[in-house]
Amino acid sequence: MALSDGKGALSLAAKELFARWNDVQAVWADTQSQEFEKTYLLLIEQDVRSALGAMDHLNHVLQMIENECE
């Protein structure tokens, strides 16, 4: 799997997760759901953003390495 494939898969999975969470919020909107979102989903969102940024940086580094090897 190429780096861009992994990035795309991670991005798609995160979008799907948050779309499903929006669906769930229509029927589960109490303090427990807010706590769940704060405890888990917000951290997941931050981690996904960090991972996607790291993948972009890694892709840039790999491109530089490839260019230097040509």
DSSP reduced 3-state for 29:
coil
* Residue 1: per-residue pLDDT: 61
Residue ranges for the chain with pLDDT beneath 70:
1
- pLDDT (0 to 100) of residue 63: 92
Q: What DSSP line would sit under 2-66, residue for residue?
A: -HHHHHHHHHHHHHHHHHHHHHHHTT--SHHHHHHIIIIIHHHHHHHHHHHHHHHHHHHHHHHHH
Look up the pTM and report it.
0.84
Would you kindly state where each structural domain of the chain is located, as residue ranges? 3-69
Gap between the Cα atoms of 28 and 6, Å rounded: 32
Q: What is the pLDDT of residue 3?
A: 82
> What pLDDT, on a 0 to 100 scale, did the predictor assign at position 67?
94
Q: Give me the pLDDT at residue 2, please.
A: 81
